[in-house]
Amino acid sequence: MVLMASSTLAGRATRAQAPPAGTRPRLIGFLGLYSAPVYARFLNGFREGLLALGRREGSDLAIEYRWAEGREERLPELALQLVALRPDVIVTHTGAGIRAAQAATSTIPIVMGVSADPVGLGHVASLARPGGNTTGVSSQVVELAAKRLELLKQAAPGVQRIAALLELSNPAARQADRELQAAARKLGVRVQAFDVDAVPATLESVLAAIVRERIEALIVEPYPRVTSHSDRILAFAATRRLPTIGGLRQFADDGGLLAYGNDFVAGWRLAASYVHKILNGANPAELPVEQPTGFELTINLKTARSLGLVIPQSLLLGANTVIR
């Protein structure tokens, strides 16, 4: 009898999620700066978040994707394409994606997947009461820049000349650079910012400059145009024997010395809850912007050994993951 009752309740729950006969599934427009493979981990987190709330793509939900393939200038056109489909909500990320979506519509709700400093960049009025048609998840990319410098200095105390690879066309990255410079003065080190864009040739010029400047360590800030070059940056760092820190765990998994930052996958799961609430009738203007509460410190001891570094025990004890 218990099994029969459970089965009946499960069936009712399943039927409750299905759209009524003759109606279309709820439509999400997804506006991305890069491509689906680049954001695969985050997309999976977003879908997992929807599924946990009983919403399944291809069942009661349809998602229309538009990817700019790294070409920021395409975002306004792609945003207009999505608006023309009359979606129930638009999901996007990065400052450029949010600006494009907001320029395309002032009425369709917009959910920020994970955005750096949405108040400072003018995307929302405040975190508590965003106003307008935009809400979602904020990362702490700017605030964590100084912490990454401190962690790198703890792991490699001898370094004095450090390069920070940033996407300086991004206002949040310029603010992060200011935070880095203030932290560098306190630590008595020199941090030199280098602008990285999506063009591989630009990166090669940056790496050549790093050699000329006799840089001793790298901070790889987690902006899309920078992280799209992670493989090349890590290969360069290994050849030059440079300690590195990134903002995404994957950076340390792939051979970086350290990674520290928000759990971006958790942030995308959280973004799914905003979509769910809006589809249930919530007003985005009244949904406070949230920040992921989890921070991940990953240490790659294999890389440390290759660099001849001994990681302090205090740093190891504070790590979420240690790669041995």
Total domains in the chain come to 2
- Overall average pLDDT of the 111-140 stretch: 92
User: In the predicted model, is pLDDT for residue 286 greater than 80?
Assistant: yes
Range of the domain at 113: 2-138+264-293
Same domain? 226 vs 238:
yes
- State whether 189 and 313 are in the same domain: yes
pLDDT at 147: 96
Q: For residue 143, what are the CA distances in angstroms to 1, 74, 223?
A: 55, 29, 14
Residue 23: per-residue pLDDT: 62
Predicted local distance difference test score (pLDDT) of residue 263: 85
Please check whether residues 171 and 272 belong to one and the same domain. Answer: no
> Are residues 183 and 307 located together in one domain of the fold?
yes
State residue 314's pLDDT score.
95
Assess whether 82 and 120 both reside in one domain.
yes
* Same domain as 201, residue 62: no
**For position 13, what pLDDT does the model report?**
32
With a cut of 50, say whether residue 3 has pLDDT above it.
no
Q: Are residues 124 and 237 in the same domain?
A: no
Q: Are residues 302 and 242 in the same domain?
A: yes
Check whether residue 14 and residue 130 sit in a common domain. Answer: yes
| Whole-number pLDDT of residue 38 | 80
Q: What is the pLDDT of residue 223?
A: 85
Share of residues in the chain with pLDDT > 90 (%): 72
* 58 lies in the same domain as 75: yes
pLDDT digits (tens, 9 = 90+) for 151-169: 999 999 999 999 999 999 8
Residues 134, 149 within the same domain: no
HSE-up of residue 60 (Cα within 13 Å, Cβ side): 17
Same domain, yes or no: 268 and 256 = no
> Which pLDDT tens digit goes with each residue over 194-246?
999 878 999 999 999 999 999 999 999 998 789 889 999 999 999 999 999 99
Please enumerate in sequence order all residues whose Cβ is within 8 A of that of 50, keeping only pairs 6 or more positions apart, or say none: 56, 57, 61, 272, 275, 276
CATH code of residue 312: 3.40.50.2300
Number of Cβ within a 10 Å radius of residue 131: 12
What mean pLDDT is predicted for residues 12-27? Answer: 54
- What percent of the chain is predicted at pLDDT more than 70? 93
Residue-wise pLDDT for 64-110, tens only, equals 999 999 888 999 999 999 999 999 999 998 888 999 999 999 999 99
Question: What's the whole-model pTM score?
Answer: 0.81
